[in-house]
Amino acid sequence: MLHTSEYFDTLENDPKDPSHWHTLYLDKSIPFSDDAKAAFLYDSSRKSRQYLLPFVRVFARFFIIVMQLFKAISPNLINAPKMLHKSLYLGMKYFISPEANFLILRHFYLGSEVLKFIKDNVKGAEEIPMNPLKPISVNDVRNNLFLDHDLNLYNFIINLNKAIAEKGLKVTNVDQPNFSALTEGKIPFEEFRDKWSNFMDLSTAIEIFTPVYQFFLTDNDFWRASNSLQLDEVIGIYATTIMNCPEKLVGLNNKHPMIPLPTYGAAFRLTLHGLSTEILHALLVSAKKDMSMA
Protein backbone atom coordinates (compact mmCIF):
# COMPACT_ATOMS: atom_id res chain seq x y z
CA MET A 1 0.00 0.00 0.00
CA LEU A 2 1.22 3.49 -0.86
CA HIS A 3 2.16 5.40 2.29
CA THR A 4 0.85 8.98 2.21
CA SER A 5 1.25 11.88 4.60
CA GLU A 6 -1.04 10.21 7.17
CA TYR A 7 1.77 7.77 7.99
CA PHE A 8 4.03 10.54 9.28
CA ASP A 9 1.21 12.68 10.65
CA THR A 10 0.33 9.90 13.11
CA LEU A 11 3.89 9.16 14.26
CA GLU A 12 4.73 9.98 17.86
CA ASN A 13 8.09 11.57 18.50
CA ASP A 14 10.45 9.95 21.00
CA PRO A 15 12.66 12.80 22.33
CA LYS A 16 15.38 10.27 23.16
CA ASP A 17 15.31 8.70 19.70
CA PRO A 18 13.84 11.14 17.14
CA SER A 19 13.29 9.83 13.60
CA HIS A 20 15.41 11.37 10.86
CA TRP A 21 12.61 10.84 8.31
CA HIS A 22 9.91 12.21 10.61
CA THR A 23 12.03 15.30 11.22
CA LEU A 24 12.46 15.97 7.51
CA TYR A 25 8.77 15.42 6.84
CA LEU A 26 7.73 17.97 9.47
CA ASP A 27 10.23 20.56 8.22
CA LYS A 28 8.46 22.92 5.79
CA SER A 29 11.40 25.16 4.85
CA ILE A 30 11.35 23.88 1.26
CA PRO A 31 8.06 23.59 -0.69
CA PHE A 32 7.10 19.97 -1.36
CA SER A 33 3.87 18.05 -1.85
CA ASP A 34 2.99 16.30 1.43
CA ASP A 35 2.13 13.02 -0.30
CA ALA A 36 5.27 13.04 -2.45
CA LYS A 37 7.46 13.96 0.50
CA ALA A 38 5.97 11.21 2.65
CA ALA A 39 6.42 8.68 -0.16
CA PHE A 40 10.04 9.72 -0.73
CA LEU A 41 10.99 9.67 2.95
CA TYR A 42 9.20 6.39 3.67
CA ASP A 43 10.86 4.84 0.63
CA SER A 44 14.24 6.19 1.72
CA SER A 45 13.87 4.43 5.08
CA ARG A 46 13.69 1.00 3.41
CA LYS A 47 16.36 -1.57 4.27
CA SER A 48 17.33 -1.87 0.61
CA ARG A 49 18.61 1.70 0.66
CA GLN A 50 20.62 1.19 3.83
CA TYR A 51 22.13 -2.22 3.07
CA LEU A 52 21.83 -2.84 -0.68
CA LEU A 53 22.44 0.60 -2.19
CA PRO A 54 26.14 0.95 -1.16
CA PHE A 55 27.05 -2.28 -2.96
CA VAL A 56 24.81 -1.65 -5.97
CA ARG A 57 26.29 1.84 -6.41
CA VAL A 58 29.87 0.51 -6.61
CA PHE A 59 29.08 -2.18 -9.18
CA ALA A 60 26.75 0.05 -11.22
CA ARG A 61 29.31 2.82 -11.51
CA PHE A 62 32.05 0.34 -12.40
CA PHE A 63 29.81 -1.04 -15.16
CA ILE A 64 29.21 2.49 -16.50
CA ILE A 65 32.97 3.11 -16.74
CA VAL A 66 33.54 -0.23 -18.52
CA MET A 67 30.65 0.43 -20.89
CA GLN A 68 32.05 3.89 -21.61
CA LEU A 69 35.21 2.25 -22.92
CA PHE A 70 33.15 -0.10 -25.07
CA LYS A 71 31.00 2.76 -26.37
CA ALA A 72 34.15 4.70 -27.30
CA ILE A 73 35.00 1.89 -29.71
CA SER A 74 31.47 1.13 -30.93
CA PRO A 75 29.30 4.15 -30.03
CA ASN A 76 26.32 3.14 -32.19
CA LEU A 77 26.44 -0.65 -32.11
CA ILE A 78 23.54 -0.93 -29.66
CA ASN A 79 20.46 1.26 -30.14
CA ALA A 80 17.39 -0.43 -28.67
CA PRO A 81 15.08 2.09 -26.96
CA LYS A 82 12.12 -0.29 -27.12
CA MET A 83 14.06 -3.00 -25.31
CA LEU A 84 15.29 -0.41 -22.83
CA HIS A 85 11.76 0.66 -21.92
CA LYS A 86 10.55 -2.93 -21.73
CA SER A 87 13.36 -3.63 -19.24
CA LEU A 88 12.52 -0.52 -17.23
CA TYR A 89 8.83 -1.45 -17.23
CA LEU A 90 9.51 -4.97 -15.94
CA GLY A 91 11.84 -3.65 -13.25
CA MET A 92 9.35 -1.05 -12.10
CA LYS A 93 6.38 -3.41 -12.07
CA TYR A 94 7.93 -6.38 -10.31
CA PHE A 95 10.82 -5.10 -8.18
CA ILE A 96 10.37 -1.43 -7.30
CA SER A 97 8.34 -0.28 -4.32
CA PRO A 98 4.95 1.36 -4.91
CA GLU A 99 6.28 4.59 -3.38
CA ALA A 100 9.15 4.67 -5.88
CA ASN A 101 6.83 4.02 -8.82
CA PHE A 102 4.54 6.77 -7.55
CA LEU A 103 7.45 9.22 -7.52
CA ILE A 104 8.76 8.17 -10.95
CA LEU A 105 5.42 8.63 -12.69
CA ARG A 106 4.82 11.90 -10.82
CA HIS A 107 8.10 13.19 -12.19
CA PHE A 108 7.00 12.89 -15.81
CA TYR A 109 3.59 14.34 -14.99
CA LEU A 110 4.96 17.33 -13.07
CA GLY A 111 7.73 17.98 -15.58
CA SER A 112 5.18 18.37 -18.36
CA GLU A 113 3.12 20.74 -16.23
CA VAL A 114 6.10 22.96 -15.39
CA LEU A 115 7.04 23.31 -19.07
CA LYS A 116 3.42 24.13 -19.95
CA PHE A 117 3.33 26.74 -17.16
CA ILE A 118 6.39 28.47 -18.62
CA LYS A 119 4.92 28.42 -22.13
CA ASP A 120 1.58 29.78 -20.90
CA ASN A 121 3.32 32.74 -19.27
CA VAL A 122 5.61 33.82 -22.10
CA LYS A 123 3.58 36.15 -24.30
CA GLY A 124 3.71 35.04 -27.94
CA ALA A 125 4.88 31.49 -27.19
CA GLU A 126 1.56 29.87 -28.11
CA GLU A 127 2.97 28.17 -31.23
CA ILE A 128 5.80 26.37 -29.43
CA PRO A 129 5.11 22.62 -29.91
CA MET A 130 4.61 20.50 -26.81
CA ASN A 131 4.52 16.77 -26.15
CA PRO A 132 3.02 16.44 -22.65
CA LEU A 133 3.75 13.18 -20.85
CA LYS A 134 1.12 12.32 -18.24
CA PRO A 135 1.42 8.62 -17.41
CA ILE A 136 -1.04 7.15 -14.94
CA SER A 137 0.22 3.56 -15.01
CA VAL A 138 3.55 1.72 -15.03
CA ASN A 139 2.37 0.27 -18.35
CA ASP A 140 2.85 3.73 -19.92
CA VAL A 141 6.62 3.40 -19.45
CA ARG A 142 6.76 1.06 -22.46
CA ASN A 143 5.92 3.97 -24.80
CA ASN A 144 9.50 5.35 -24.75
CA LEU A 145 8.55 7.46 -21.73
CA PHE A 146 12.04 8.08 -20.34
CA LEU A 147 13.59 8.94 -23.70
CA ASP A 148 10.71 11.22 -24.70
CA HIS A 149 11.04 13.05 -21.37
CA ASP A 150 14.67 13.95 -22.15
CA LEU A 151 13.81 15.00 -25.70
CA ASN A 152 10.93 17.18 -24.47
CA LEU A 153 13.23 19.11 -22.17
CA TYR A 154 15.83 19.84 -24.85
CA ASN A 155 13.28 20.65 -27.56
CA PHE A 156 11.34 23.00 -25.30
CA ILE A 157 14.44 25.04 -24.42
CA ILE A 158 15.56 25.10 -28.06
CA ASN A 159 12.15 26.11 -29.42
CA LEU A 160 11.57 28.71 -26.71
CA ASN A 161 14.91 30.40 -27.31
CA LYS A 162 14.49 30.29 -31.08
CA ALA A 163 11.19 32.13 -30.59
CA ILE A 164 12.92 34.62 -28.27
CA ALA A 165 15.58 35.30 -30.92
CA GLU A 166 13.29 35.36 -33.97
CA LYS A 167 10.15 36.99 -32.53
CA GLY A 168 11.58 39.10 -29.73
CA LEU A 169 9.77 37.19 -26.99
CA LYS A 170 10.83 37.64 -23.37
CA VAL A 171 10.72 35.53 -20.24
CA THR A 172 9.77 38.17 -17.72
CA ASN A 173 7.85 38.70 -14.49
CA VAL A 174 4.08 38.22 -14.80
CA ASP A 175 1.90 39.97 -12.22
CA GLN A 176 -0.98 37.49 -12.55
CA PRO A 177 0.53 34.23 -13.85
CA ASN A 178 -1.57 31.63 -15.65
CA PHE A 179 -1.50 28.56 -13.38
CA SER A 180 -4.01 26.48 -15.36
CA ALA A 181 -1.36 23.90 -16.32
CA LEU A 182 -0.76 22.88 -12.70
CA THR A 183 -2.52 20.06 -10.86
CA GLU A 184 -3.26 20.93 -7.24
CA GLY A 185 -4.73 17.68 -5.95
CA LYS A 186 -3.92 14.01 -6.34
CA ILE A 187 -2.95 12.61 -9.72
CA PRO A 188 -5.24 9.70 -10.69
CA PHE A 189 -2.59 6.97 -10.88
CA GLU A 190 -3.66 3.36 -11.23
CA GLU A 191 -2.92 1.19 -8.20
CA PHE A 192 0.71 0.11 -8.01
CA ARG A 193 1.69 -3.52 -7.54
CA ASP A 194 2.73 -4.18 -3.93
CA LYS A 195 3.97 -7.78 -3.55
CA TRP A 196 6.90 -9.29 -1.68
CA SER A 197 9.19 -8.67 -4.67
CA ASN A 198 8.46 -4.92 -4.70
CA PHE A 199 11.13 -4.25 -2.11
CA MET A 200 13.54 -1.92 -3.91
CA ASP A 201 13.75 1.76 -3.00
CA LEU A 202 14.00 4.58 -5.52
CA SER A 203 17.72 5.38 -5.10
CA THR A 204 18.81 1.75 -5.50
CA ALA A 205 16.54 1.31 -8.52
CA ILE A 206 17.98 4.42 -10.20
CA GLU A 207 21.53 3.16 -9.67
CA ILE A 208 20.56 -0.07 -11.48
CA PHE A 209 18.55 1.69 -14.17
CA THR A 210 21.40 4.02 -15.16
CA PRO A 211 23.81 1.39 -16.59
CA VAL A 212 20.82 -0.35 -18.20
CA TYR A 213 19.97 2.97 -19.85
CA GLN A 214 23.55 3.30 -21.04
CA PHE A 215 23.70 -0.25 -22.40
CA PHE A 216 20.63 -0.04 -24.61
CA LEU A 217 21.27 3.44 -26.03
CA THR A 218 23.93 4.90 -28.30
CA ASP A 219 26.79 6.75 -26.67
CA ASN A 220 25.36 10.09 -27.85
CA ASP A 221 21.88 9.32 -26.50
CA PHE A 222 23.25 8.42 -23.08
CA TRP A 223 25.48 11.48 -22.89
CA ARG A 224 22.56 13.68 -23.88
CA ALA A 225 20.34 12.10 -21.22
CA SER A 226 23.05 12.48 -18.57
CA ASN A 227 23.69 16.13 -19.42
CA SER A 228 19.96 16.92 -19.43
CA LEU A 229 19.97 16.50 -15.64
CA GLN A 230 21.84 19.79 -15.33
CA LEU A 231 19.10 21.73 -17.12
CA ASP A 232 17.14 22.01 -13.87
CA GLU A 233 18.65 25.41 -13.20
CA VAL A 234 17.67 26.66 -16.68
CA ILE A 235 14.02 25.65 -16.19
CA GLY A 236 14.13 27.00 -12.64
CA ILE A 237 15.36 30.39 -13.84
CA TYR A 238 12.54 30.62 -16.38
CA ALA A 239 9.89 29.77 -13.78
CA THR A 240 11.26 31.96 -10.98
CA THR A 241 11.70 34.88 -13.39
CA ILE A 242 8.00 34.63 -14.20
CA MET A 243 7.23 34.44 -10.47
CA ASN A 244 9.86 37.07 -9.51
CA CYS A 245 11.34 34.88 -6.78
CA PRO A 246 14.93 34.02 -7.84
CA GLU A 247 15.86 33.19 -4.24
CA LYS A 248 13.80 29.99 -4.55
CA LEU A 249 16.47 28.52 -6.85
CA VAL A 250 18.26 27.34 -3.71
CA GLY A 251 16.26 24.11 -3.91
CA LEU A 252 17.54 23.22 -7.40
CA ASN A 253 20.77 21.27 -7.06
CA ASN A 254 21.81 20.13 -10.57
CA LYS A 255 23.62 23.33 -11.42
CA HIS A 256 26.17 24.59 -13.98
CA PRO A 257 24.74 23.05 -17.19
CA MET A 258 27.68 24.29 -19.28
CA ILE A 259 30.08 22.05 -17.34
CA PRO A 260 29.26 18.38 -18.12
CA LEU A 261 29.78 15.98 -15.24
CA PRO A 262 31.01 12.36 -15.44
CA THR A 263 28.30 9.89 -16.39
CA TYR A 264 29.10 7.54 -13.50
CA GLY A 265 27.43 10.04 -11.15
CA ALA A 266 24.26 10.32 -13.26
CA ALA A 267 22.15 8.17 -10.92
CA PHE A 268 22.65 10.50 -7.95
CA ARG A 269 22.00 13.54 -10.14
CA LEU A 270 18.84 11.87 -11.45
CA THR A 271 17.55 11.64 -7.88
CA LEU A 272 18.31 15.34 -7.42
CA HIS A 273 16.55 16.03 -10.71
CA GLY A 274 13.41 14.40 -9.36
CA LEU A 275 13.56 16.41 -6.14
CA SER A 276 14.15 19.65 -8.05
CA THR A 277 11.04 19.04 -10.16
CA GLU A 278 8.96 18.35 -7.04
CA ILE A 279 10.22 21.51 -5.33
CA LEU A 280 9.63 23.75 -8.35
CA HIS A 281 6.16 22.33 -8.97
CA ALA A 282 5.23 22.70 -5.28
CA LEU A 283 6.44 26.32 -5.33
CA LEU A 284 4.16 27.06 -8.29
CA VAL A 285 1.18 25.22 -6.80
CA SER A 286 1.62 27.16 -3.55
CA ALA A 287 1.56 30.44 -5.50
CA LYS A 288 -1.53 29.25 -7.37
CA LYS A 289 -3.33 28.58 -4.10
CA ASP A 290 -2.28 31.96 -2.69
CA MET A 291 -3.61 33.76 -5.76
CA SER A 292 -6.94 31.92 -5.61
CA MET A 293 -7.36 32.97 -1.96
CA ALA A 294 -6.45 36.60 -2.57
Among 5-9, 22-26, 214-218, 275-279, the minimum mean pLDDT is found in 5-9
Is residue 200 one of the residues assigned to a domain?
yes
pLDDT of 74 strictly over 90: yes
pLDDT in tens, 142-181: 999 999 999 999 999 999 999 999 999 999 999 999 999 9
The predicted pLDDT at position 1 comes to: 46
Is residue 24 one of the residues assigned to a domain?
no
CA-to-CA distance for 200 and 186, rounded, in angstroms? Answer: 24
Is residue 5 one of the residues assigned to a domain?
no
What is the chain's length?
Answer: 294
Q: Are 80 and 178 in contact (CB under 8 A)?
A: no
Is residue 185 one of the residues assigned to a domain?
yes
Q: Are 192 and 102 in contact (CB under 8 A)?
A: yes
Is residue 146 one of the residues assigned to a domain?
yes
Q: Count the alpha carbons within 13 Å of 51 in the hemisphere toward its beta carbon.
A: 4
Domain count, the chain: 1
- How does 178-217 read in b/e, with b if 16+ C-beta sit within 10 Å? ebebbbeeebebeebbeeeebebbbbbbbbbbbbbbbbbb
Mean pLDDT of the chain: 93
CA-to-CA distance for 90 and 74, rounded, in angstroms? Answer: 27
Range of the domain at 75: 33-293
pLDDT in tens, 221-242: 999 999 999 999 999 999 999 9
Is residue 113 one of the residues assigned to a domain?
yes
pTM of this structure: 0.94
Phi and psi for 218 in degrees, rounded to 5? Answer: -70, 165
